Structure 1
Amino acid sequence: MTAGGSKIFKDLAEGLASRGVAVLRYDRRSHACPNSLSAAEWTLDNITVNDPLVAAEQLRNIEEVDSEKVIVAGHSLGGLAAPRIAERDESLAGIAMLAGPARNFYEIFIEQFEHLATLGEYEWERMANIYERWQSRIDRIREGDYSDGDIVLDYPGALWRTVDEYDQVGTAKEIETPMFVLQGERDYQVSPEEDFDRWQEELADRPNTSFELYEGLGHTFQYGEGPATQSEYALSNPLDETVVEDLASWATSL
């Protein structure tokens, strides 16, 4: 993920590699090959699940890689999809879910907007029309009032439909793959209270499951102070080193 100056996957890959963990990092298909899928083909599997399955198999075929210790680390939508990936590849040694929502993906959109509207640099009066437009589109998604090829909230209906059909929490409960759930406590895009806390509550009795909430870190695991803002993404602050160390320690312990 690259957002302004934030390069979470690059930082994570370099940090893990420097600690002896081999990494295969790739651009999401919709980014690297934007015309390879029609809007109706923009499903959760095509965008987020199928390619990691291929990547994991490629890693297993590299002589220097321990084929029994391959893990998948996903961020945000990738974190949400990680249990589905593990469900389809039972040979994975573990999955790491970085800021993955425990709720339906569209449910978090309006909360992000409401958070930004409370900050001094945003004027609610000027944003009210946008808010109402977002709310009406979220209502459309909730009611299933779209087709796979429709663009709703900037994404094809096929993505909303397949995300709506997928239960990430239920899937996480069913699989036996070790799991590591990580999130920053300043994250305004995925709620620590509504999402991270739900992961902890729902998976409290699940074996081989670890949780870590990082003080001062936002959605991209960069450090900051005060309420998180969009402008932070423009900064070239690195991914917090503690996150890299924790993920490397967890991966090598499997």
Structure 2
Amino acid sequence: MREVDMTITADDGLPLAGTLTLPVGAGPHPAVLLLHGSGRLDRDANTRRLRMGLGPPLAAALAAVGIAVLRYDRRGVGATPGDWRATGFIDNRRDAAAALRALAGRTDVRAGAVGVVGHSEGAVHAMALGARPEVAAVVLLAGFARSGEDALRWQARTITSGLPAPLRSVLRKFGNRQLARVKASDADVVRVARTKLNARWMSEMLLHDSRPDLANVQAPVLAITGGKDVQVDPADLDRIRDLVPGEVETHRIPDLTHLLRRDPGRLSVRSYPAQLRKPVDADLLAQVTSWLARRLGVEQHP
């Protein structure tokens, strides 16, 4: 494979810096757009403190079977200019649509063989892109099928479930106060517990409901959530299966966490640092690669 720099022009003219990983050969190639989860993530799904590293192994696995992959730095992250804290959930959605148009418009990308792979927040944006005619396949990794506020509250309950009841009560009341502040504010950024919070992103995410997007998806869907995910309810896989009108395949993988690594221990975010010292789950990569190869018409794929 080979990697080339690619700049995507957003709707407002901002240049989104990215990497296009191309398979061997002249093409045109099937291709996918990779969309990462929430936060200050670069094109590889890394922050300064949390290095998830999803981009390189997924791009390498897909390129090995003949599929190109585009991934890019978010606004205000890596080589992309802008203010990350002032960027909204809707901005991220529009940028994802601009990246899809740029990828599908390349002469070295095969028309009718473009897919989208999204993880966490990226999966929610992939649901919306699944209604576009140029999208031939959608992969949802840990995507929720409910309102953003409902998803956030489920996450908070699950993460704090192992704490003593008095502490859970204190944290719940604190969280409710901060959510009320965010909802009442029209500022891009608010300060919560001495930390600057991306309030516009949070407000827009809380209001978003992914279920109408799922009901409008026109492409085949592969949805995978880990049985040990504490940030997205694995039971939402049933909702995804019921809402998507066409072909859909769902998998709840035992011991897989939100970080797309396996952990045989108890459900907890405390194990995240140890999980990140492991590679992205190889079986997951193989499953996604095989499914996309079939749906995007990779030649001579078993």
TM-score, normalising length: structure 2: 0.69
- In 2: Cα distance, 1:5 partner to 1:158 partner: 25
Corresponding residue for residue 187 of structure 1: 229
Q: 2:268 aligns with which of 202, 219, 229?
A: 229
- Show the counterpart of 1:103: 146
Q: What is the alpha-carbon distance in structure 1 between the residues aligned to residue 164 and residue 64 of structure 2? A: 44
Residue in 2 aligned with 1:31?
77
The CA distance in 2 between the partners of 1:92 and 1:126, in whole Å, is: 46
Contact 2:75 2:84 in 1 (8 A): no
- Name the residue aligned to 1:250: 291
SS in 2 for 1:95: strand
Sequence identity (%): 21
Which one scores higher on RCO, CA 8 angstroms, separation ≥ 6? 1
Partner-residue secondary structure (3-state), 1:187? coil
C-alpha separation between the residues in 2 aligned to 1:211 and 1:116?
24
After superposition, the Cα gap between the structure-2 partners of 1:11 and 1:128, relative to the gap in structure 1 and judged at 3 Å, is farther
Counterpart residue identity of residue 147, structure 1:
D
Please name the residue that 2:209 is paired with.
167
Is the aligned partner of 1:43 residue 2:84? no
Give CA-to-partner distance per residue, 1:175-214, whole Å, 9 cap, x none.
3122221111110100112x223222333xx212221211
Distance change in 2, residues 1:25/1:38 (3 Å): closer
Structure 2 residue runs without a partner (length 5+): 1-44, 296-302
Asked if structure 2 preserves the Cα contact closer than 8 Å seen for 1:216 and 1:223, the reply is yes
Would you say the 8 A contact 1:52–1:72 is kept in 2? no
C-alpha deviations, 1:106-163, integer Å up to 9, x for none?
A: 33334333333344xx56655654432112223556xx42214353876434324433
Alpha carbons of 1:33 and 1:239: their partners in 2 closer, same or farther (altered >3 Å)? same
Of 92-101 and 22-31, deviating more is: 22-31
The code of the aligned residue for 1:170 comes to: P
Query: Is the 1:6–1:236 Cα contact (8 Å) retained in structure 2?
Result: no
**1:114 alignment counterpart:** 157
Question: Could you say what the CA RMSD is over the residues aligned between the two structures, in angstroms?
Answer: 2.9
Deviation at 1:23, TM superposition (A): 1.1
Normalised by the length of structure 1, the TM-score is 0.81
State the partner residue of 1:240.
281
Greater fraction of residues in helix: 1
Query: How do 1:89-100 residues align onto structure 2 when only pairs under 5 Å count?
Result: 89-100=132-143
Q: Secondary structure at the match of 1:70?
A: strand
